[in-house]
Each structure stands twice: as C-alpha cells, then as structure tokens.
C-alpha cells in the first residue's frame, strides 16, 4: 500500500490531478464492490415496452419469478416517444442537453409503467436522486426499477456529429452496474443479440454470439444493438467486464441469462 498512501499524500498536497503519474498511483487501491450480488437488467423501450402487453407481460412475469432467486435492478429504455422528441428538437436546432433532458422523461415514463405492473409484487420505482435507498429495497423486495437514462441533462456530452445524446439508457444502466460493482448486466431487447447488420433491415445479417469490445469496434458495423459508448465504458471497467444482449420476446432466455447461461450475444471487455 506504499504506492497507495503516497497517492493520497500527493492528492492532499495539491499535486495536479492532470498529472498522469498521480492518476496512475490511484490504481493501486482495491476496488470495493458496493452491491456485488445484484444483477442489472435493462428492459428496452422501443424493443419491448413500446410493443405493449403482449411483449411486456411475459417479461414482467419472468422478472417476478427471477426475483425469488436473484436481486434485480431493472432499468428502462426510452423508445419511440424519445425518438419523436429527438427528431422534433433536433429539427428546431435545440442543443443535445435539451434533447437529453426531455428524453430522460420518457425513460421515466417507462419506469413508471413497469412500476405499476410490478406494484403488486412490492417492487418500487427508484429515481436516481433516491438511489441511496436502493440497498433497502433490494434487501426487502429483491428488486427495484429505475429509469435508465444517466442524469447528465444539460451537461451531456455533445456528439462529434449531429445532436443525439450519445449516453442514453444502455450507457446509464451499464454505469449503474459498474459503479455498484454488480454481478452482471443483461440487456433485454427484441433481437437474439448483436448482428453483422440491423436484422430488421437486412435479412442476411448474421448473429455474433460472442465478441470482445475491440472486435466489435474493429467490425465497424453499420448499426449496433447496443449504444457504442457502452463499449468505450467497458474498456475501463473495474467490475462489469462483460454484458449480454438477449431476446426478451423469447420466453425463458432472461431466466437462463440470469443463471449465467450464454443465450444471446456476450460482449466482453477483453
């Protein structure tokens, strides 16, 4: 811990936090996992919730059954209403920060919907500002629902091209899993995983069952099933070094994925 205690000394003595040697010294601290037994499950907006009852009810039932065995943090996507908001606001030339703010509300609406559906099981919706209460909900109810957008609002990164917020609900859910040192991150979408092209537009698209972050980036795919920035975040992960994308329209896959089975696309940090 010599390196570590000298790191604290230099931080306190006013060494510049832009000094890469000071930053390197902070590597030597251990990584404490805050909620290590929790699985984060993201329920897609456009891919699932926008499909209504026929798609959502089976997923809710599967989550309810899984809750008896697993501790679940359930994040929500935004979906088609966010796309409408983004298109409208972008056409008006509004900044990415405003798009983020209004898109965040849509993920919140979807969290509210899931919350009403799971209310009878005692599963609460917990907003980001109330995350300090998550451990209690997870201990008492084994589950909580949260809106998947990261709370960047007007401070969202601006994309190098266009106006769409780069860090959306895939990134927000991933960062929840990573910061809490969770066991796993599962994205429940409407495709079997990552394909070589968007399978909704290209019938020749092939499933990629497993790939590293570097491999996915090197493929330079025209479209992705998961937000690109998640791949960048995974490179620097301390805890969550793999994520799985599964098809929530096929009953049973979520249960298997939670049990650690490979039933979709596994993306690993290395």
Partner 1 sequence: MTSDTTAQHVPSALMRQTLLNRDLVRPATNRPVIRMLPQLRVVKLGGRAILDKGRDAILSVIDELKQALPERNLLIATGAGIRGRHVMGVSLDMGLPTGVLAALASSEAEQNGHIIAALLAEHGVSYLPHTTVGRQLAVHLAASPAAVCNGFPPYELFDHPPAVGKIPQHRTDAGAFLIADAYGAKQLVYISDVDGIHDADPRQSSGAKLLKSVTVDELSGMNLKTLPIERIVLDLMRSAKHMTQIQVVNGLERGNITGALAGKHVGTIVRR
Between 209 and 248, how does the x/- string for binding to partner 1 read (CB under 8 A)? -------------xxxx-xx----x-xxxxx---------
Q: How many residues bind partner 1 (CB under 8 A)?
A: 89
Q: Which of 150, 170, 172, 182 is nearest to 245 (CA)?
A: 170
Q: Which of 77, 120, 74 is nearest to 226 (CA)?
A: 77
62 binds partner 1 (CB under 8 A): no
Which of 162, 209, 251, 260 contacts partner 1 by CB under 8 A? Answer: 162
160 binds partner 1 (CB under 8 A): yes
**Least Å from the CB of residue 18 to partner 1:** 5
105 binds partner 1 (CB under 8 A): no
Terminal Cα distance for the chain, rounded: 27
- Helices of type H across the chain: 2-12, 20-25, 53-66, 80-91, 96-118, 134-141, 169-179, 213-219, 228-235, 253-258
Q: Which is nearer to partner 1, 29 or 121 (CB)?
A: 29
11 binds partner 1 (CB under 8 A): yes
**Least Å from the CB of residue 71 to partner 1:** 18
Q: Which is nearer to partner 1, 68 or 116 (CB)?
A: 116
DSSP 147: E
Please identify, among the stretches 22-30, 113-121, 138-146, 259-267, the one whose residues bind partner 1 according to the rule CB under 8 A: 22-30
Which of 41, 62, 77, 96 contacts partner 1 by CB under 8 A? Answer: 96
| The two structure tokens encoding residue 147 | 């809106």
140-162 burial, b for 16+ CB within 10 Å, e for fewer? ebbbbbbbbbbebeeebeeeeee
């Amino acid at each position: 811990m010599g390196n570590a205690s000298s790191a604290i000394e230099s931080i306190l003595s006013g060494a510049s936090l832009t000094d890469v040697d000071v930053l390197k010294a902070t590597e030597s601290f251990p990584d404490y996992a805050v909620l290590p037994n929790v699985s984060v499950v993201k329920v897609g907006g456009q891919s699932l919730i926008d499909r209504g009852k026929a798609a959502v009810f089976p997923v809710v039932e599967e989550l309810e059954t899984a809750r008896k065995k697993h501790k679940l943090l359930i994040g929500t996507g935004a979906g088609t209403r966010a796309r409408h908001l983004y298109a409208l606001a972008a056409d008006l030339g509004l900044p990415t920060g405003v798009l983020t703010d209004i898109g965040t509300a849509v993920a919140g609406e979807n969290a509210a919907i899931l919350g009403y559906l799971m209310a009878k099981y005692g599963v609460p919706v917990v907003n980001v500002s109330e995350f300090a209460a998550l451990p209690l909900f997870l201990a008492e109810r084994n589950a909580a629902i949260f809106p998947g957008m990261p709370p960047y609002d007007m401070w969202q990164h601006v994309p190098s091209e266009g106006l769409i917020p780069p860090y959306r609900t895939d990134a927000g859910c991933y960062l929840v899993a990573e910061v809490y040192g969770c066991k796993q991150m599962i994205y429940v979408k409407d495709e079997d995983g990552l394909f070589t092209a968007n399978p909704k537009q290209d019938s020749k698209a092939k499933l990629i069952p497993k790939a590293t972050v570097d491999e996915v980036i090197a493929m330079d795919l025209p479209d992705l099933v998961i937000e690109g920035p998640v791949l960048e975040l995974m490179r620097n992960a301390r805890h969550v070094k793999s994520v799985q994308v599964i098809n929530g329209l096929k009953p049973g896959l979520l249960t298997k994925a939670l049990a650690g089975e490979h039933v979709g696309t596994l993306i690993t940090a290395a």
